[in-house]
Structure formats: structure tokens, C-alpha cells
């Protein structure tokens, strides 16, 4: 009869628990797998199997049966409390209180493992001097917490004052014979945290010798902590993805180029965005006096939001400064002022940016340019049917306060059929299935193949097709390039 009662009671409790767990889990974690729910169900089932075992059933009394039922409901209620915690502080507080209520301890605290620091950090305590435990850390094997984590088992200490590894953090020094109970929170043989409990009056005999309920609470706490961290990780990942999407939209919008007529020339430009946020930017615009055309392609070193912000600042600043350009020599002064602006904005010593900045004289076909640490532009000479890497190179911007002496103005002449290619290093870093970089040699091979394509616009499309044919994985850096082709010799 007793076994039948236990069997029915088991089904009812597990059903109620699963129903409640699904509701709570669904509320917090949307449609994520019910991992924690089924682990808890298995935990309850294990508990009942012990109750139904032959040895226990033959010896159990009504009083013990009532105690078992009370323990089961305590596990059930504790589970609901842990699942409904809204933040880490509340979760830690509830875990400690579950253990305090069950053991009637006077003092309790929880230390949670921090993977980056490889230490157990005390995050919450009751009846403890909070100021003294703030930021307290234990390496595995260090102090009572670290020693418990090393042992991976419940540790009972009869007189905590005699324990050499003990240091009191309670409001008062422990009285003689104060007992301590340390419970490791273990999941898959990994100690997630440690519960520390102190009792002045001493723990009851069942607490010392019947450790199943303590282990049940410990398993629940470990799973709750892991689940909470996983949930936070997913939330942060979702927020990060939204920020990346928003940043990419901003990047796309500020790259818009106002259309203008450039008689005798054709331009083409493209950006193949990377999965990560990068810092490429470009500018193509007429000068205010209509005598020249400005071409700029920059690349902020690094990835992430700081690089994207730096890119936007450089792009917008350059657009404003370019209003003052009237002749080729002016681009040197513009770059010097752009460096001044960015040097004052850059707080990270590892942040800087490279840029190729060019001025096309619309009438003569001469192209004046300054290369500040950027990739070498490529010129195609149709008459000689040859490509040339223009290897003049200066210093990247943002390193030094004054870069005037490093800004060297160079020039080339574009005749009918000649074209220029400006590009970011993301183009050279494209890899094929053998993990071989495209590099300059591969880029020249592609350009030789597409050189007969009609106009800069068609060459832009052809280059993108060839790039995507070559690379077998998503690019890790933005791929940005600009074609400038002279279509006739007179204007």
C-alpha cells in the first residue's frame, strides 16, 4: 500500500512540477529546450526510487513518511523559486535562503566560479559583513570554499574555529564548537559554486548523515546558475546581433554617394560587408568649383563598435573638410587636418586608420594622390597593356599628432582606356578552400581577366563575381574597392 501511494504521489508531483516548470521556463526562455525541466524531473524520479527501494520501504514509519513528503515539497518549492529569479542577485539570494531554511543555519553565503579568473567569488551572504566579503575570491584549494571545490563533496566541520583554513566573515566571531557545512554545486563533474553554512547550535543529525536532500538542492542550484548564465549569454548575443545589424545599416546609409556627371570618365564602387563590424569607408564627390573629383578609400584597423564609430567620424569629417579643396595640393592640408581631428578622438594606442586620398583633374586627366599606409593602388595602361602597382606609401593616420612631413603627393596620368583600382586589404585577405590568400598576384590575375569588360561599372560587377567564386567562406573583413576609368581622351 505504501509503495502504491508513493508511486501515485510521484506521478502527481512530477506532473505538477513539469507543468509549472514549462510555464516558468517558457516565460523566461521563449522556445528554448526544456533542459533544466527534464533534469529536475529526473532528479525527482531519482529521489522517489530511493523511497521505493526495498530497504527503505520495509523500515519507513508514518513520521518518516511525512518527513519525506515534506522534503519533496521543499525541493519542489525551491525549484519554483529558483526558476522565477529575474536576475543573478535574486538567484543567489534565493539559493542561499533555500539552504538556510532547510538547515536552520545562522550564516550562509554562496561563491560562484568565474572561468576567466579561475576563482570562486563570493556573490551573496546572509548575516555576514557584506563589506568584508565584497569581491572575496578563492582559488581551487584555497580557504574553505576552495577546499570544498577541490573535494567536490559535502564537507562537515564540527568546530570551525579550529579549522586552519577558516576566516570569519560573519558579524561576530564564531563561538566555540560552531559547526560549518560546505556544499559544492556540481554539474557534470564541474563545481559551479560553493555554499557555506555556519550553525551556532549545531546541525541536526539527519543533516549530517542524510545528504540526499542537500545534494538535490545543490544540483538544482547548479543547474539554475548554469541556465541563468546561458540565458544571459543568449540575451547578450541577441543584443549584439541587433547592434551589429543597426551599425551595418548606419554604415550603409553614410556610404551613399550623391550622383553627379563626370564627363569622359566612369566610376564604379562596391563594398562586400563582413560578418563582423569593420571600418571601411569611401568618398567620391566633385569639388565645389567643379574642376576636380575627390576619391578616398579608408580602412580603420580593428573590428567592433569602436572601429565603426571611428570610421563614421573619419568619413563625415572628410566630407566636411573636402568642401575646401580647390586644387590638387589642397588634399595634403585636408589629410593633415583630418589626422588632427582623429588623433584627438582616438584614445586607444592600437587604433589608427589607413587611407588613399586622390584628386582627379577633370580636364587634364591627371590623378594626384596621397597614400597614408593603405594598400597599393593599381593602374592599368591600355596602350602598353600592363598593370602597375603604385608603391608610394606614407604613414597611417591617428598615430602622431603631426603627420605633415609624411604626406607625399604623387601623380599619374590617365589616358583613354586606362583605369585605376583603389581597394581595402580585405580584398587581398580573401581565402579559397585551400586557405590560400588572394593577395596582390591573385588580384592582378583577376584584373587581367576582366580588363576588357566595358566600363568601370561592368568591371565592378565582374570583380565581385570573381571574388565570390574564389572565396569559400564569408569574409572576415570588409571588401571595398573603387574603379576609375577614362573613357575618352578629351572633355
pLDDT tens-place string over residues 214-251: 888 888 888 888 888 888 788 777 777 776 777 667 66
Residues forming beta bridges with residue 401, ordered by sequence position:
none
Task: Please name the residues in contact with 150: beta carbons below 8 A apart, sequence gap of 6 or more.
Answer: 140, 141
Q: Which residue has the higher pLDDT, 47 or 274?
A: 274
Residue 157: which of 126, 185, 178, 127 has the closest Cα?
178
Same domain as 40, residue 133: no
Do 138 and 62 lie in one domain? The reply is no
- State residue 241's pLDDT score: 76
In a domain? residue 321: yes
Kindly state whether residues 353 and 396 are assigned to the same domain: yes
Percent of the chain at pLDDT > 70 equals 75
Residue 94 lies in a domain: no
Q: Is residue 404 part of a domain?
A: yes
| Predicted local distance difference test score (pLDDT) of residue 489 | 55
pLDDT at residue 17 tops 60 = no
Across the range 265-271, mean pLDDT stands at 93
- Least Cα distance to 316 among 269, 254, 259 occurs for 254
Average pLDDT rounded to a whole number, residues 106-134: 86
Kindly report the CATH number assigned to the domain that includes residue 351.
3.60.40.10
Number of domains observed in the structure of the chain: 3
Q: What local confidence, expressed as pLDDT, does residue 238 receive?
A: 79
Task: List Cβ neighbours of 461 (8 Å cut-off, separation of 6 or more).
Answer: 268
- Average pLDDT for the chain: 80
Indicate whether 245 and 261 sit together in one domain. no
pLDDT tens-digit profile of 101-119? 888 888 899 999 998 899 9
Q: At which of 251, 271, 305 does a domain end?
A: 251
161 located within any domain: yes
pLDDT value at residue 167: 65
Q: For position 441, what pLDDT does the model report?
A: 93
- Residues 66, 110, single domain; the answer is no
Q: What is the DSSP letter of 397?
A: B
In this prediction, residue 448 carries a pLDDT of: 94
- Pick the most confident of 25-29, 309-313, 333-337, 471-475: 333-337
Q: How far is CA 348 from its chain centroid?
A: 19
Question: Among the listed ranges 7-21, 329-343, 367-381, 441-455, which one has the minimum average pLDDT value?
Answer: 7-21
Q: Read off φ and ψ for residue 326, nearest 5 degrees.
A: -120, -25
Q: What is the pLDDT of residue 232?
A: 79
The predicted-structure confidence for 364-406, as pLDDT tens digits, reads as follows 999 999 999 999 999 999 999 999 999 988 899 988 889 999 9
Q: Is the dihedral of CA 304, 306, 309, 315 positive or negative?
A: negative
| Structural domain that includes position 56 | 1-84
| Tens digits of residue pLDDT in 243-263 | 677 766 766 676 777 777 788
Residue 377: DSSP 8-state? P
C-alpha to C-alpha distances, 108 to 33, 124, 127, 171, 491, nearest whole angstrom: 33, 9, 7, 12, 86
* Residues 48 and 172 both lie in one domain: no
CATH of the domain at 119: 3.30.450.40
Q: What is the pLDDT of residue 491?
A: 42
The proportion of the chain whose per-residue pLDDT surpasses 90, expressed as a percent, equals: 40
Q: How far apart are CA 108 and CA 219, in angstroms?
A: 18
Q: What is the pLDDT of residue 406?
A: 92
92 within a domain of the structure (yes/no):
no
Same domain, yes or no, for 203 and 277? no
Q: Is residue 89 assigned to a domain?
A: no
pLDDT at position 204, please? Answer: 65
Asked whether residue 90 is domain-assigned, the answer is: no
**In the structure, what pLDDT confidence band is assigned to residue 408 with cuts at 50, 70 and 90?**
very high
User: 299: Cβ–Cβ under 8 A, 6 or more apart, which residues?
Assistant: 278, 279, 280, 281, 353, 354, 355, 374, 424, 425, 426, 478, 480
Identify whether residues 390 and 273 lie together within a single domain: yes
pLDDT of residue 76: 64
User: Is the same domain home to 429 and 324?
Assistant: yes
Specify whether 298 is located in the same domain as 434.
yes
Whether the CB-CB separation of 484 and 267 falls below 8 Å is answered with yes
Last residue of a domain, one of 219, 251, 283: 251
Q: Is residue 63 part of a domain?
A: yes
pLDDT for 3 equals 42
Query: Model pTM?
Result: 0.57
- Is residue 118 domain-shared with residue 242, that is, in the same domain? yes
The answer to whether residue 42 scores a pLDDT higher than 60 is no
Same domain? 19 vs 133: no
Amino acid at each position: 500500500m505504501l509503495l502504491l501511494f508513493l508511486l501515485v504521489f510521484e506521478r502527481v508531483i512530477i506532473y505538477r512540477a513539469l507543468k509549472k516548470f514549462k510555464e516558468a521556463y517558457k516565460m523566461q526562455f521563449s522556445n528554448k529546450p526544456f533542459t533544466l525541466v527534464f533534469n529536475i524531473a529526473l532528479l525527482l524520479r531519482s529521489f522517489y526510487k530511493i523511497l521505493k527501494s526495498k530497504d527503505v520501504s520495509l523500515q519507513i514509519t508514518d513520521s518518516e513518511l511525512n518527513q519525506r513528503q515534506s522534503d519533496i515539497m521543499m525541493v519542489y518549492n525551491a525549484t519554483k523559486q529558483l526558476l522565477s529569479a529575474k536576475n543573478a542577485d535574486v538567484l543567489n539570494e534565493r539559493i542561499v535562503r533555500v539552504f538556510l531554511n532547510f538547515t536552520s543555519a545562522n550564516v550562509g553565503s554562496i561563491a560562484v566560479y568565474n572561468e576567466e579568473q579561475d576563482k570562486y567569488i563570493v556573490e551573496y551572504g546572509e548575516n555576514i559583513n557584506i563589506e568584508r566579503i565584497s569581491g572575496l575570491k578563492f582559488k581551487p584549494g584555497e580557504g574553505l570554499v576552495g577546499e570544498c571545490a577541490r573535494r567536490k563533496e559535502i564537507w562537515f566541520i564540527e568546530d570551525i574555529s579550529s579549522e586552519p583554513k577558516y576566516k570569519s566573515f560573519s558579524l561576530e566571531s564564531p563561538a566555540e564548537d560552531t559547526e560549518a557545512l560546505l556544499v559544492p554545486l556540481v554539474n557534470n563533474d564541474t563545481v559551479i559554486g560553493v555554499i557555506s553554512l555556519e550553525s551556532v547550535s549545531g546541525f541536526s543529525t539527519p543533516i549530517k548523515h542524510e545528504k540526499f536532500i542537500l545534494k538535490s538542492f545543490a544540483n538544482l542550484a547548479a543547474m539554475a546558475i548554469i541556465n541563468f548564465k546561458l540565458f544571459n549569454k543568449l540575451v547578450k548575443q541577441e543584443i549584439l546581433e541587433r547592434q551589429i545589424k543597426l551599425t551595418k545599416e548606419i554604415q550603409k546609409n553614410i556610404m551613399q554617394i550623391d550622383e553627379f556627371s563626370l564627363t569622359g570618365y566612369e566610376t564604379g564602387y562596391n563594398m562586400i560587408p563582413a560578418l563582423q563590424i569593420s571600418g571601411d569607408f569611401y568618398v567620391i564627390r566633385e569639388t565645389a568649383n567643379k574642376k576636380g573629383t575627390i576619391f578616398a578609400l579608408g580602412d580603420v584597423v580593428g573590428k567592433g563598435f569602436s572601429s565603426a564609430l571611428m570610421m563614421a567620424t573619419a568619413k563625415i569629417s572628410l566630407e566636411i573638410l573636402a568642401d575646401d579643396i580647390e586644387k590638387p595640393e589642397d588634399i595634403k592640408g585636408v589629410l593633415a587636418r583630418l589626422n588632427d581631428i582623429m588623433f584627438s578622438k582616438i584614445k586607444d594606442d592600437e587604433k589608427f586608420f589607413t587611407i588613399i586620398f586622390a584628386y582627379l583633374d577633370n580636364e587634364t586627366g591627371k590623378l594626384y594622390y596621397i597614400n597614408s599606409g593603405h594598400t597599393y593602388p593599381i593602374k592599368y595602361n591600355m596602350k602598353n597593356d600592363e598593370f602597375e602597382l603604385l608603391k608610394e606609401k606614407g604613414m597611417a593616420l591617428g598615430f602622431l599628432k603631426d603627420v605633415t612631413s609624411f604626406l607625399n603627393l604623387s601623380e599619374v596620368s590617365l589616358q583613354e582606356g586606362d583605369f585605376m583600382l583603389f581597394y581595402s586589404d580585405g580584398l587581398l585577405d580573401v581565402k579559397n578552400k585551400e586557405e590560400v590568400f588572394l593577395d596582390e598576384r591573385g588580384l592582378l590575375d583577376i584584373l587581367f581577366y576582366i580588363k576588357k569588360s566595358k566600363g568601370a561599372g561592368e568591371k565592378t560587377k565582374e570583380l565581385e563575381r570573381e571574388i565570390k567564386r574564389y572565396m569559400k567562406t564569408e569574409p572576415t573583413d570588409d571588401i571595398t574597392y573603387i574603379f576609375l576609368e577614362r573613357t575618352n581622351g578629351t572633355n
